[in-house]
Chain A
Amino acid sequence: MTGDKTRRSLPLIMAAVLFVSLSLSASAQSDEDCLTCHGDRDLKSEAGKPLFVDQAMSQGSIHGQAGISCLDCHADLQKVKGFPHESPLKPVSCGQCHETALQQFDRSVHQAANEKGTSGITVGCKDCHGTHEIKPKDDFDSPTFAINLPATCERCHLEKVPSKKGTGFIGGYNQSAHFKALEKSGLTMSANCSHCHGAHEIKSVDDPLSLVSRKNIIKTCGTCHVGIQRGYLDSVHGKDFVKGIKDVPVCTDCHSEHEILSPEDINSKVYSTKVALVCSRCHDDIALGRQYGFLTSRLKTYNESFHGTAARFGETRVANCASCHGFHDIRASSDPKSSINKENLPATCGRCHPGASRHFAEGRIHSTPEQIDTAKYRTSHVVKSVYIFIIAAIIAVMLVFIAADFLRRVLRKEKHG
């Protein structure tokens, strides 16, 4: 981690800084000198920019506590003799000391955007870390403190810098389970922006090196959700993911990206009554089905079943896709470890239907007639066709009978007045 490296080299840097400042002390100004002017609350530049530096805050900052003086950062003032000095000063270069951070930042999407300059916004160290009052990231008041970081990033990313995926996309994080854990319960290990995107080295999602790229997202989520990552990698999805198949779902395809909610939350995409819509995005896709050899018409056949119908009406106590197929560790039915393997079906169904026997496996749960290989398992579909024919015939006969009756009565009335 960059923070650790910086911290380890801190005493060295401080010694160097001390040496430099001592050797320059004859000619240069002390902090007190600066504050004779900048200690004035009303001091403003000609352009009206406030130039006040709060002494208490700058001395309370991590730099102030380490004895780093104004001139250590505002290095171009070291050669200035006459005061008030010319303004504006050169931007402070944090990289003098924070080399690694700067190197990472130079390769980040932020720096790329600065160089491109199309957004009209530039971003540098101070935009996230602050200036004179700068605090370490474990300080409660630091803008980069885990709980404060989302608000810091959202200063730009909520509105000023629109996401390719729409304006609400990033703000969705504020509804997420991650943010709730962070804000409500103060769980600083809960994912904030930098946990998933990285900090100084932050990259665009399209960049394969990005922590949230398709290639890396499993590992990134797995940093915290270790057990889930293991289950996923064992699953039929995970095995294909490892093979590099790009159509396979990764964490974010089912759980969404920023607005990740608990599966118990009614608005979650994987809420029990809604998860079928997520799975069927791929599993009802005929092209994908053909390419990877799986059955489609999953949603329709599920909806037709009592489980699916009840779920559509909002009943949560019925089986959804995950109840039978599992979720992270989902396996093909041919896999002996699969919950829907013929041998395991009685146990799987038995979770809700106590005493479920082998009979539960003697049929097809959701299949269109063409998909059923065993003739007798197709009987219900045959019965259905017969019924449709009988109903049509009976109703047609009834209607003809009624039409004839009605016409005769009307005709008779006309005849007899």
Chain B
Amino acid sequence: MDSAPLIRDEEVFLRMNLAERIQHWLLISTFFFLIVTGLPLFFYDVKFFKLLLPTGRSFYVRGIIHRVAAVLMIANLVWHLFYAALTRRGRDNFKEMLPRWKDVKDAIELFGYNVGLTRFLQRRGIGKKFFQKHPYWLFEKHPLYGRYNFVEKFEYWALGWGSLVMIFSGFFMWNVELSLRLFPLWVHDIFIIIHGYEAILAFLAVIIWHMYNVHLSPEVFPMSKVWLTGKITGQELRLLHPLEYEQVLEERRKTLSAEAL
């Protein structure tokens, strides 16, 4: 057994299959176009957008691109929902994505581990008794993740919630007459505010949170290639998704012992 490890570091695992990657590519491109064609409305005074949309005609085309991108993004979302419901892999991934109490703990533990304040206090001899009794609060170990860590789960569900809000408010902004047949003007005003600020939140979250985790983080810098190839190595699986690694290992041990019998 020791001579041939069950998971070699060079072994290739499929993290994102083609369908998942296409969904991600579609999401990136529609998100990009929605942001570029939407932000000018929010930052109408910024020179750059004035250069981007020099005429009333281009402003009109901007609106069309925005709506086409929106429809494509919704179609992508519907595809993803069917995919998550109707395929085995989709269902498995979706189950893995479900938020658990562990994710909250992971977030706290990671932050505590990164900051290291409690370890610092302990070294200084502060709260010795407390830490002897509750060594958990020293956060001496990095939390261990399964297939999806709390960062990825947060992104996934933020995207889901954000999409709902944007689709709902955007639909009524697209159909002003319908909206104002159903709601008074002050409600329609809320849709407009929500659509704009939710977009800003999504944009900032992606730029800051997602870009750090998949590009700038020293772990993956300059870029994680999973979104292109869909593959990760056995080593990456062991380091980044230790619980999933353990699971695979366990399964292989079982098959091996079953074979041996």
Contacts and interface: CB of A to CB of B under 8 A. Distances in A.
A and B form one complex? yes
A380 B197 contact: no
Contacts of B111: 401, 404
Nearest to A310: B59
Interface stretch (A13-21, A194-202, A355-363): A355-363
A402 interface: yes
B44 A398 contact: no
Nearest to A407: B114
A267 interface: no
A380 B193 contact: yes
B185 A356 contact: no
B185 A391 contact: no
Contact of B53 (A313, A359, A401, A408): A313
A346 to B, nearest CB: 10
Contacts of A408: 113-116
Interface in B207-231: 208-209, 212, 216-219
Contact of B219 (A314, A315, A409): A409
A382 to B, nearest CB: 9
Contacts of B186: 362-364, 376-377, 379-380
Interface string A342-384: 0000000000011111011111110000000000110111011
B176 A315 contact: no
Given A313-B44, A409-B217, A363 B194 contact: no
Interface in B171-211: 176-177, 180-190, 192-194, 197-198, 200-201, 204-205, 208-209
Among B58, B116, B189, B216, chain A packs the most CB atoms within 10 A around the CB of: B189
Contacts of B56: 273, 310, 313-317
A380 B217 contact: no
B217 A405 contact: yes
Nearest to A356: B180
Given A359-B180, A359-B185, A404-B111, A380 B190 contact: yes
Given A357-B180, A379-B190, A406 B218 contact: yes
Nearest to B110: A405
Contacts of A384: 193, 197
Contacts of A303: 44-45
A391 B183 CA distance: 27
A380 B189 contact: yes
Given A310-B59, A313-B50, A398-B209, A359 B218 contact: no
Contacts of A304: 44
B41 interface: yes
Interface string A298-338: 00000110101110111111000000000000000000000
Nearest to B200: A391
Provide the main secondary structure of the chain A interface: helix
Contacts of A413: 218
A27 to B, nearest CB: 78
B221 to A, nearest CB: 10
A402 B59 contact: no
B40 interface: yes
A315 B59 contact: yes
A374 to B, nearest CB: 8
Contacts of B219: 409
B201 A390 contact: yes
Given A355-B181, A357-B180, A359-B183, A306 B114 contact: no
Nearest to A312: B44
A377 B209 CA distance: 35
B208 A395 contact: yes
B190 A383 contact: yes
Nearest to B201: A391
B188 A363 contact: yes
A398 B155 CA distance: 12
A310 B59 CA distance: 7
Given A306-B41, A353-B177, A356-B177, A405 B50 contact: no
A394 interface: yes
A147 to B, nearest CB: 35
B194 A387 contact: yes
Given A360-B185, A362-B185, A409-B219, 6 more contacts: A317-B60, A359-B181, A364-B185, A376-B186, A398-B205, A409-B217
16 contacts: A314-B55, A314-B57, A354-B177, A359-B182, A362-B186, A365-B185, A380-B189, A383-B190, A384-B193, A387-B198, A388-B197, A391-B197, A391-B201, A395-B205, A402-B212, A404-B111
Interface of B: 40-41, 44-45, 49-50, 53-60, 110-111, 113-116, 176-177, 180-190, 192-194, 197-198, 200-201, 204-205, 208-209, 212, 216-219
